[in-house]
Amino acid sequence: MQSVTLRINNIACRYDAANVLENIDFSAKGGDFIGVVGPNASGKSTLLKSISKVLKPHTGVVLLNERDVHTLKSAEIAKNLAVVPQESVISFAFTALEVVLMGRTPHLNRFEMESTQDLIIAQKSMELTNTWYLAERPIDTLSGGEKQRIIIARALTQEPRVLLLDEPTDHLDINHQIEILDLIKRLSKEKEMVVIGVFHDLNIVSQYCDRLILLHKGRIFAAGGAGDVLTGENIEKVYGVKVTVKQDDISGKLLIHPQRKRMIKEAKAKVHVIAGSGSAVSLMNELVDNGYNVSLGVINIGDSDYVAAKALELDIVEEKPFCPIGEKNYEKNLELIKQADYVILTNIPIGFANIKNLKAAGEAQNLIIVEKEPIEKRDYTEGEATKLYHELKANATLVKNSHGVLDTLKSMESGVNYE
């Protein structure tokens, strides 16, 4: 098999007048697993879009096997390059197998039907992603995590030489997260595939990626091995938080811990936040700014909410990265919840790893639930979370988004005072 090369040749991208990417220049060859990290709006997704021909760079070229992707036909690119998006909406009643078989589209002639050969490739991809047993199920009956694994299987069915991932594991449970990342890592070596992934979680990148690109305001701030890129100094400059970077005793990989930055002011009321995936970063800042005594838990170390809470010096009940909530932490969290005057549950996906947080929330004196989308859409526990959630909801105050929380808190507090 001829080795694949990808060169991003000094590209710049613009939306209207604003530069989103500038001076991006790097190259990759088969077997590379490159992680792209950076805060929100640093240009990570734009970078993926310009590689996959969705967005034409203002200047510079993207060369796939030395050919400019923007002069290639989409089908030509699709034979070599697959993309796993953050989220996929497939509402029609295609079966999972039919969706995976769509990955063969670039390889088939216009009137050619899928052959046994295509089916074999599809089955293999589905077995790799552990979804073959879902083959006959209509795609719209699958859970978010199952759907995402089907989409990854579809990408593999394209038999790509380059795989682009846009926060591919955001909707997955910890076990599937690890399973998929292990698989992608293995394939990148076995099939000499270039993998470029955008990730939020710095601990994931340090574990899986060979090379990292740290984006800051549309430019490459640092690039290279995890040890060179994920330094305390770099992270503080780019993310604006102080962290300590340690080597994990067992794996030798880096672990990133935010440091305490300032003392909490004298507080009015105790507020406990149940969050995850960065859903409460601005909320916690707002609460602290307004003088509340805020705590957070249970949260996995390395989560953006964890990073933010550390920076704010909150009381945190923390769990190791990728681990389900342990009994001890559950108890600790319960204690904080019981002490808190108010408990806020943000709009987080609930899996088996964090369902204990829902259970604990039941002990809250005053529960405020931020609900942007119905629980059914973010339930990865086959209904268990939904049941718990609805019980909680019956005795809780509901807000549409986290901006409404502060007003609700204030009005609830004044209500308490008048009594």
Site string for other proteins, 351-390 (x = CB under 8 A): ----------------------------------------
Q: Is 170 in the site for other proteins (CB under 8 A)?
A: no
Task: State the nearest-atom distance from the C-beta of 83 to other proteins, in Å.
Answer: 4
Tokens 């009321």 belong to residue:
269
CB of 355 to other proteins, least distance (A): 28
Closer Cβ to other proteins, 2 or 116, answer by number: 116
Q: Is 71 in the site for other proteins (CB under 8 A)?
A: no
Alpha-carbon dihedral sign for residues 37, 39, 43, 45: positive
- What SS3 class is residue 143? coil
Nearest residue to 295 via CA among 318, 315, 313, 281: 315
Q: Applying CB under 8 A, does 113 fall inside the site for other proteins?
A: yes
Stretch that binds other proteins, among 73-81, 175-183, 220-228, 407-415 (CB under 8 A): 73-81
CB closer to other proteins, 78 vs 370: 78
Determine if 323 is a binding residue for other proteins (CB under 8 A). no
CA-CA distance, 278 to 252, in Å (whole number)?
26
The DSSP secondary-structure symbol of 312 reads T
Near other proteins in 287-306, by CB under 8 A: none
From residue 158, how far is each of 83, 121, 134, 166 by CA, in Å? 10, 9, 19, 17
Scored b (16 or more CB within 10 A) or e, 382-409 reads eeebbebbeebeeebbebeebeebbebb
Of 21, 24, 77, 336, the one binding other proteins by CB under 8 A: 77
Q: CB of 34: closest distance to other proteins in angstroms? A: 18
Question: Is 197 an interacting residue with respect to other proteins (CB under 8 A)?
Answer: no
Output the six-digit token pair for 215. Answer: 């984006």
Biggest distance spanned by C-alpha atoms of the chain: 76
Nearest to other proteins of 198, 355 (CB atom)? 198
For the chain, what's the residue count?
419
Instruction: Tell whether residue 123 is a contact of other proteins (CB under 8 A).
Output: yes
Give, as one character, the DSSP assignment of residue 95. B
**In the 8-state DSSP scheme, what is residue 348?**
-
Residues 147-166 that bind other proteins (CB under 8 A): 158
Q: What DSSP designation does 114 have?
A: P
46-65 residues in contact with other proteins (CB under 8 A) are 52-54
Q: Toward other proteins, which CB reaches closer, 165 or 226? A: 165
The distance of Cα 2 from the centroid of its chain, to the nearest Å, equals 33
| Residue 90 sits in the site that holds other proteins (CB under 8 A) | yes
Contact residues toward other proteins (CB under 8 A) are: 52-54, 73-79, 81-83, 85, 88-94, 97-99, 102-103, 105-106, 108, 110, 113-114, 116, 119-120, 123, 135, 138, 140-141, 158
